[in-house]
Structures are given as structure tokens and as C-alpha cells.
Amino acid sequence: MAAAQERLSDGAGDMDDAKDTGDADRHASTTAPPAFRAAVEALRGSRLRPQIEVEPTRAPQRLAPFAYALEATVVDGDQDLADGRLVLLHEPEGHDAWRGAFRLVTLVRAELEPEMAADPLLPEVCWSWLTGALQARGLACGEPSGTVTRASSHYFGGLAERPAASQIEIRASWTPREGLGGVPDTAGHLAAWCDLLAQVAGLPPAGPGDASVVTLPQRRGPQSPH
């Protein structure tokens, strides 16, 4: 995105900056505000369903003064069903576009069956997976924005024997409600994000709270690794 403010308000467009590994623990700096350090510690202390492997990764450097990032993969045996990144941004003085001091930015991707990718309602359903995951956990958020992109690859010539491949990609950002001490419930938002990852990967719900999330037909079997 061209404008700096636009990058800050919907930083999902810059999520690819987080691919490199490095100093993922910027929150450990003594210069980080207490609210940011508390929000990050809540992320680090969260317990997640075993199919989702989460680890810190380097956060984008230009989106906010303070940032912390996680990357996750949904696994089934030796199959990777979906992957994504979640970035927590913090602007201590608040940001007009966010309408708050914190912002969560995400990128989620998964392989799909071709018939699922062809569903005309797929973008709306995928967006409802995100909003439904937040609502199911009772999380309030503001200024949500994002995109849902689907892409298909078809192979020809020497690659003609390979089956067509389809992928869904969700880029989104939202402002979590700040609680006591100005700290948002980042553990809750991480859990909701993992619900989204599981939903995109085709895993069954982890609990009754997920029932409000709209579903598409389940895949016939595990998807190929990315």
C-alpha cells in the first residue's frame, strides 16, 4: 500500500515482510510499554489445540513502533493443511485509523478442493469464519478490514499430469478492545485466530463455542503441502 497511514490501518498488505526469522522478541526490550509487554506475554502463555503449531517469527518493522508476530501451521500427520501469521501492533499514543492503541493483522492460507474454490459464496463464507470466530469467543473488535482471495493453478505440457490446485488467502486486520490497564485480551484473539485456521484447514470444531461459525462441506481428505 502506498500511503503510510494506509499500511498502518490495514497492515495485512505488508505481512510478507514477516517471513524472515530473526529477533522475534522485540517485546523483551525495556523500552516497550507495559501494556504491550503484557499483551505479548499473554500470547506466549496461550495453550492451543495440538494440531496447530505456533512459534514466534520476525515482525514487520515499519507498521508500528512496537510489533510482535507469530506464525502457525495446521498439521495432520505429515500433511500441512493451512498456515498463517498473526502480528500484534502497538502505537502507544493511539492511531486514528485503528481507533485504538493496538491492532491485530493476519494472513491465513490453505489449499482447497477445486469444487470448494469454485463456490461463489466462498469469499463471504471465509470472512464469516473470521468474524464468527471472534464472536463465538465473545471478543469485541473495531474497524475490521480485509480481503479474501482465491487462486487456481492449472498445469499443461510436461506438467499436465499434475491435478489443478486451488488456494484461499485471507488478509485481515482489526482493533481489539482494550481492557484493564489498556491491555487487550490477546490470548482470546489468538484462540479465535486458531479457530479460523482450523476452519480453513477443514478441522472439526474444538468445542461447542465454535458452533456459530459457518462451514463449508468437509474436504475428502488431507490436502497436499504448500
pLDDT tens per residue, range 51-62: 899 999 999 888
Please report the pLDDT score of residue 12 as a whole number. Answer: 61
Report how far apart, in Å, the C-alpha atoms of 110 and of each of 72, 98, 186, 201 are.
12, 28, 24, 6
Could you write out the DSSP letters of every residue in 201-225?
HTPPPSSGGGGGS--PPPPSSPPPP
The per-residue pLDDT of the chain, averaged, comes to: 79
Please report the pLDDT score of residue 138 as a whole number. Answer: 93
pLDDT tens per residue, range 166-201: 889 999 999 999 888 889 999 999 999 999 999 888
- Mean pLDDT, to the nearest integer, of 120-139? 91
Task: Inform me whether the pLDDT recorded for 8 exceeds 70.
Answer: no
pLDDT tens per residue, range 134-162: 999 999 889 999 999 988 888 898 888 88
Lowest mean pLDDT among 3-17, 31-45, 162-176, 183-197: 3-17
